[in-house]
Structure formats: structure tokens, C-alpha cells
Amino acid sequence: MVTTAPALPELPDLRAFMRHAGWIEFPPGPAGSFWSKNNFRIGVPHDDEDPDIISGVVQRIAAVEQIPLKQMAEQIRYFRFDVTHLRAANDYKITSTIPLEAAATITSAARIMLRTVGTTSQRERGEIAGNYSRRGDKVVEEARMGHTREGSFIIPILIRLPEIDETAMAQAVLPGIERSAPEPLERRVMRTFAQSMEAVRTFVVEPAREPTVASLLDVVERGVSREFCVALSRILSEDSVGEFETKFAWAEAVQHSHVLPTSVKIEAEARDLVHKAAEKLRANRIEPRQVFSGKIVELRHEQGNAYGWIKVSTLRHGRWCEIGVRLPLDHYTQAVSWHRDARPVLVEGQVRSAFGRPLIVNDPVRCHPLDETRLL
């Protein structure tokens, strides 16, 4: 039996993983640096393309961490990658091969879906109408496609996340204020992809009836657009596709909520409902007003005060910003748990601003995690 050597990680990902796993780097020398953990030492080169050297480093890390070599290599390789596995399945028509036309449709439609959420992750809208975000397109351009996998037709899409120092962020705050790092755009795009698939399943497919304008407002708030629905409908309409599934593996390098979708499956029979949703999004201008979403990056409450403040990192007019939201104490207490669990929130309310002063929402109409439906 022939065994295949595990694919090796790149050096920047190797170092980022070691820092995350508690390895301490000693001052570097001319060729590399020593890293230590639990009285073990490993030498890591600065820049070496020799696969045998990198393989030896990974083997030693696997021995110290007591993780099988193949699993360790994969964990390090994908440490800074959000990965989406796109799976098209049909028990009768997809075994070891798939019709070329169907494969072309799936890959091109999947790219369109990713491109749409690159735009709607920055501003929710029911129809993009060609006005795609350049910043979102940049994320799509830098995305990678892994090799398809045996069995069903599975395409891994990989998006690399930047390295974030959560510890430094937490230390640079005043007493009584708790801070965390903002969500990088790359994670926001992939998260919006996952939320969009979940929203289509929850508000369009599962009711098993023609979607209403009200239900479409819910999906648009979570990143779905007409173009997203059209692309998904194209995949579901392929004769070779019995179901389309997206599986998400979230990078360990950046904190993520454990309630983010890990798998969303939509049967081909839902194609008509998804197509009707696309038609209604074209016929009805659905653009949520006074709504924004993002990660809570700051908590602030003064002893004895009946209100607390959160800050939400989001995009406004194409720029990153933080918007303060005032919440009654019981609601603020809930928001504290959302922050600890890294659950992105959706806020509806009038954003007020004055020259030189922060953006705030004094009396939000609603504020709740994006994974929950409407709450009053």
C-alpha cells in the first residue's frame, strides 16, 4: 500500500500556528530561530524551500502536540484559512465523474455567489445590479480553490485571513472597558456566505411556499441578493445535481462564533422557490434602512448605571467604523455573552453623528445576534 506524504504548510502559517499553540520564539539567529514549549525546542528556518526541513519541523511539532502527522500538517496548513467545501451530490448521476457542463455551471455560479457576498457583506441590498464592491472583489480574487475530492463533486474554496493579535488589543484599554479585535473583511465575507445560505434555507426553502416581501427582508439583512439567488438556482437546476451543500471550516487563527453555520444543505426541489425569491427581489426594491451588522468589539458599563454601551465594528459608506449602541442593563447583559461568544449582531436604529464625535445609536429598535430571527 502506497502512502501519500501530507501536504506541507507555508512558513508564515507554521509560525502563526506555533504562536497560537503556546510556543515561545527565542531571538532569531542568521538562519532561523528556536521555539520552545514544555521543555521541548524546535528550530524553525527564516526562509527555506527545502521540503525535508519543513517536514521535519512539522513532525517534531506533531510529536510534542501528540497529534497524528497528517492531521497536524492539515491543521497548520489551514490555520489561517476559512474553507468552504461546495458539494453537489446525486446518487445516480454523480459518482466518480460529473458532466463537464454541470461542473462548469457549479464553479462559475459558486464564484458569482462568493462575489455577491463580497459586496453585500459591506452593505445589505436586495439587488446589486452590477455595482459590485471593489474591496469585496479583491477578496474573491485572492481566494484559492483546492483540489476536488473523490465521491461527490466537492470543491474547497479557501480564503486566507490576516494575523490578528487579540492579546495586544485586550491590553490596550482603560479600566471598565473590554475590547476585542475587529472582524477582518475576509472573515466577514465568508461569514456572510454562510449566513446567506442559512437564510435562504430558513426563510425561503423551509416554509415551502412562495416567499413574501417580509421574509425577503430577513434574507437581505443577512447578505442575500437577487444575484445570489440566481446563481444558487442555476446550480439547483442542473440535471446532475440532487442537492447542493456548503460546509464551512472556520480558521482557528481568528476567533469565531460556535453558532456560525458549519453545513447548509439545499435540495434541488427547492429550485423554483429560490428562483421566485430572485424574481421578487428584482420586482421589489428591498434595501434595509437604518440597519447594520458586525462583531461587538467593545463593552462599557459604569457601576450603578441603568444602561451599558457596546461598540459594533461595521462598514458604513464603504469605510470601517465602530458604532456605539446604548442598551438597557438586561439587554446589555445579553450582549456581554454575545461578545464573549463572538456572535455577530444586527442592529436597527438611527445612527447619530456630529463632527469630531463618535457614531452612536441611543435607542435601537432591535439588537440581536445575526443567527437569531427578529426580536422586538
Please give the model's pTM, rounded to 2 decimal places. Answer: 0.90
Q: Give the three cell numbers for residue 283.
A: 420586482
pLDDT digit of tens for each residue in the chain (376 aa)? 444 566 788 888 999 999 999 999 999 888 889 999 998 999 999 886 678 888 999 999 999 999 999 999 999 999 999 999 998 877 555 556 778 888 899 999 999 999 999 999 999 999 999 999 999 999 999 999 887 666 567 889 999 999 877 665 555 567 678 888 899 999 999 999 999 999 999 999 999 999 999 899 999 999 999 999 999 999 999 988 889 999 999 999 998 999 999 999 999 999 999 999 999 999 998 988 899 999 999 999 988 899 999 999 999 988 999 999 999 999 999 999 999 999 999 999 999 987 678 999 999 999 999 998 653 3
Fold of 11-77: Metal Transport, Frataxin; Chain A (3.30.920)
Contact status, residue 2 vs residue 9, Cβ threshold 8 Å: no
The DSSP result for 297-326, as a single string, is EEEE--TT-SEEEEEEEEEETTEEEEEEEE
Sign of CA dihedral 212, 213, 217, 219: positive
Question: Domain residues of the chain, as ranges?
Answer: 11-77, 82-283, 291-369
> Within 10 A of 54 (CB to CB), how many other CB atoms are there?
20
User: Backbone dihedral region of 349: left (phi > 0), alpha (psi from -120 to 50 degrees) or beta?
Assistant: left
Contact status, residue 62 vs residue 21, Cβ threshold 8 Å: no
Q: Give the three cell numbers for residue 71.
A: 492531521
Q: Do domains 11-77 and 291-369 have the same CATH topology?
A: no
Domain 291-369 has CATH 3.30.2290.10: no
Contact status, residue 194 vs residue 264, Cβ threshold 8 Å: yes
